[in-house]
Amino acid sequence: MNASRSSVCALVSGGLDSCVMLAGLAERHTAVHPLYIRHGLRWENAELRHLLRFLAAARLARVRPLAVLRLPVRDLYGVHWSLGGRNIPGTKSEDAAVHLPGRNLLLLAKAAVFCSQNRIGVIAIGSLRHNPFTDATPVFFRHIAAAASEALGTRLRVVAPLRGLTKGQVYRRGQRLGLPLGLTFSCLAPRRGKPCGHCNKCAERQRAFALQPRPVLV
């Protein structure tokens, strides 16, 4: 089977990037397997609810039912803002402030085993152009794919189809695809399942959505 039409595992959250990535993958692959991995982070319950709503509304062809796996990090992170601690990165914080140690390393390791068990040869991750972290580079993705392939005795690739795009460009792509982007969710400290409006991720999302053209008054 041609690689561009093969099965792919898509690491997804409820956020704009992974939801738009998922729709793009569904146009190019025979089967797309969305995978959500729970680490026990403070926003996951709200994020997962929004993701399920998005999937139900988008009704993307070739997208299989969502798989949810667990990989707790409390024993690694200890007292950390992502687990309910203080000092949530605010609207004026730099991207580096939201760093989660080993985030992509953990996600991709778990996803690789999932793929080997389900005969899926490609893992897609929604890393963007300006991602500053060392576990979000093309070199890292190549290396972890090679290590996972050797460890599992199968051939795996890791791809980042949005790697050349900014958040604004991803938003515009989602608009062109006609996706229900209002159902996506990115917040570090949700309140009763709704965005706090004061964290780094809320600010990033607001900037992207501000690019939406205003209606012309006649």
Domains of the chain: 3-209 (3.40.50.620)
What the block records as the tokens of 161 is: 């189809």
Q: Does position 49 have pLDDT exceeding 90, yes or no?
A: yes
167 vs 4, which has greater pLDDT?
Answer: 167
Q: Are 199 and 189 in contact (CB under 8 A)?
A: yes
Above pLDDT 90, what percent of the chain? 81
Token representation of residue 69: 């796996």
What is the average pLDDT across 87-100?
89
- The SS3 assignment for 159 reads strand
- Radius of gyration, CA atoms only, the chain: 17
Please report which confidence band the pLDDT of residue 209 belongs to, taking 50, 70 and 90 as the band edges: confident
Q: Give Cβ neighbours of residue 86 (< 8 Å, ≥ 6 apart).
A: none
Q: Provide the mean pLDDT of the chain.
A: 91
Q: What's the confidence (pLDDT) of residue 3?
A: 34
- Band the pLDDT of 94: cuts 50, 70, 90: confident
Beta strand pairing call for 7-11 and 122-124: parallel
Residue type, 121: G
Q: CA–CA separation, 62 vs 144, rounded Å?
A: 27
Closest among 196, 177, 186, 107 to 148, alpha carbons compared? 107
Inter-residue contact 75 to 51 (CB < 8 Å): no
pLDDT at 212: 58
Q: How confident is the model at residue 11, as a pLDDT? A: 98
Q: For residues 181 and 208, give the distance between their C-alpha atoms in angstroms, rounded to a whole number.
A: 11
Give the confidence band of 72 by pLDDT, cuts at 50, 70, 90.
very high
What confidence tier does 211 reach under pLDDT thresholds 50, 70, 90?
low
For the cut 50, the answer to whether the pLDDT of residue 105 exceeds it is yes
- 63 - beta bridge partners? 32
SS3 136: helix
pLDDT at 218 over 90: no
Which residues partner with 5 through β-bridges? none
Q: What is the pLDDT of residue 95?
A: 81
d(CA 44, CA 107): 14
DSSP state of 33: E
- Percent of residues, the chain, with pLDDT higher than 70: 94
* Least confident interval from 64-68, 94-98, 174-178, 208-212: 208-212
Q: What is the pLDDT of residue 29?
A: 93
